[in-house]
Structure 1
Amino acid sequence: MYWNLAMMDWNNVTLDLNRRTNDWNVTTTDWNSLTMVQNVRTVDGNGKTLGRGFIAMLNTLSAISGLKPLRVRIRIILQIIQCIYYPILAIVAVPANIVTVVILSQEKCGLSRCVSHYLIAMAIADLVVIIIDLILRRIPFVYVVENHLFEGIHVCNIHAVFIHAATDCSVWFTVTFTFDRFVAICCPNLRSKYCNVKTAAVVLATVTALSCSKNIFWYFMLSKKYRDRGTSWFCWVTRDVQASPFWAAIEFCHYIITPGVAFILILLLNVLTVRHIAVTSRSRRRLHQQSNRKSTKDPEMKNRKNSIILLFLLSGNLILLWSVSMVYSIFWRAYSFGYKSVYLPRYVMELGYMLQMLSCCTNTVIYVITHPKFRKHLKNIVHYPFTPIVKCIKH
């Protein structure tokens, strides 16, 4: 009997040891998953090789699918997409904007010289943003390597000034183009005085100078050293700057002016332009009916229709693709300053950056859609390298 009791106690001890072993195995598995997540953060922050980082993120995504919140998984998915999305965007955007500048500079697309100047300026600004923001900022933070590209180069605050100045130019050139079309359509008395090449050159130069002057504060706000993590501030920032009401107010004004005020002006000018076109269309239609003309085609209204389609596509594209980035930028500064009633996940910032960069190469697509002559010149440029080969084959 005592032997049986001893055997029962021994069996209980064995079961307890097995249970503890299973618990230890589960704990080890959880620890390995957490370690893998930390490794991805190390890859993202301290700079491992590209292949190991990309594969580690894919492995981690499958390993933590049931362990981590949805926002963490979404952010990892976006980081994986960025490894493919940003290089493809750079490969497409740089030649697209260069080709746009070349085609519009020839002034053979049926556009006025004034309009061509604005569109060329917008394409150049988008090209600069692609080079100094996408290629020299976003891609290095995605494709981190053992030695960071900018390690030891202490020019981050100067880099920030150029990035924000180019971005401001890209946005405000669209505003000036919208205002030019508003004057051309709604203000016939000012059309000849304002809608000309000289005025366009002065306006574009003024916007460029103001954009550079407005963003000088980034030089004093940020440090010269780059951070090794992709954040809204990609330069090192001291605690005093992060908690300073003075710098918070300046940064709030920056994000409210660009693109907040710019969006409001674009929407207001478009509404006034549409209202004027609607009134004018009714008046001209009435005159056509009273004159009993057989032909209902109106060349003037056709030109206005083409102009308004181009205007709406350009301004709508800018507002649509910039909205997420603008909302998160204002929220993030408010949140870091203590306003925490609303929380936006970090992946919203990543998505906003991706859409903002996309806006720098969509104007070429808009020109292709709206202007047959631009489309014709683009086909000629694309076919030009293959023309000698085709001639050789024919002969």
Structure 2
Amino acid sequence: MTATPTAGSFQTGFAIRPDLLVEARGAADVRAAVRDAAAHGRSVAVRATGHGLPGPVEGGVLVDTRRMDTVEIDPVRRTARIGAGATWGRVVEAAARHGLAPLNGSAPGVGAVSYTLGGGLGILGREFGYAADHVRALDVVTADGVLRHVTPDAEPDLFWGLRGGGHRLGAVTELETGLVAVDRLYGGSLAFDGAAAPQVLRHYLEWTRTVPDTCTSSLAALSYPDVPQMPQALRGRYAVSVRVAYTGSAVAGEALVAPLRAIGPALSDSLREMPYTESHTIHSDPPFPHAYYGEGLMLRELDAGSAARVLELTGPTAPMMTVVQINHLGGALASPPPAGNAVPHREAGFLLRLLAMTAGTDVAAARHLFARAAGETAPHGLGRALNFSFGGGDRTGGLHGPGTRERLAGLVSRYDPASLFGGAYGVGDDAV
């Protein structure tokens, strides 16, 4: 079957023109697709929702897993078995019926499996770590067409690499992951006028040095479009927002965010206690497909001066609409699981995310802008975040440190010597 450009992908900025599109309904279809690709010398890429597409797909076989969207919850073991095409929204809803939650990201429409293969930085990350840290088992079709059940005991090297190594080692058809006993949280967003950005940045960075690991937060800056879908208070304005997710009590949450509210008058304030099923409202990521180019920079530290200069470059005078997000890391994110995995840069204190809307402009302009922004934080740079490198699949430097990169390369040589899955880190969806 021939695919049309960008058909079925959330990311519309890069063409998807495979020689063959396979709409898989189960592991057997994935095995057949991989074997056929190997027999005809074609590369293989995998797509669930297309949020984290790292570049265009030209030729080869594209395995679309959206129909493989099963979700099974075991409330006694506190685990979820998740099909390759299931979104986090489905997993959150299913787990919530048992008072449990997955280590999901901020957008409910993102593919849960692909997100986890890239590490998975979630809204509860500082308390519980990366999503990849909680994986118990994976079913994966490797380049030889074999469906393997991978656990810490069965093929431990592959188990290590699949968790944080991306899609380069095979097509994961299902995974089992641990859940956490969270059914509500205190959180939301506090938005300020962009004119106060330097002040908000300074206070936010100071505040992050005081919060417990049960608090995960980020700061975002963008010019909101003047369209009816935007909140009235933010429509057409440049604003800086602090997003908070805290698993303590509402009373403790109010005390925790008091220093943020003291910064000054807010344009909007949605901080409140909420059921976990409403946690996606903290970030309110856009649910509609669009074109974008992104970068994620893992930083050992971040000072207010450098961050302010990044906002100056990417603010209202930037050549395209740009979203900047600063994620506070540390806590459990800094501690690898006992068996380890391929998630890199755990020593990072912050993640700087840059996202350019590329409709009406070009990727080259966004690259130039991001290079300037990266220069401001270069002294603190550790590398790049696999989950947030959207577009330009040739940009592979810094995704993993030398030791991890060499170990992953050894696994590729062992499980995919003909480079069937192609590219330096594969094609898939592992976004927000």
Comparing both structures, which one devotes a greater share of its residues to strand?
2
Q: Same fold (TM over 0.5)?
A: no
Comparing both structures, which one devotes a greater share of its residues to helix?
1
How would you bin the TM-score normalised by the shorter chain? under 0.3
* Higher RCO (CA-CA < 8 Å; seq separation 6+): 2
The normalised TM-score by structure 2 is 0.21
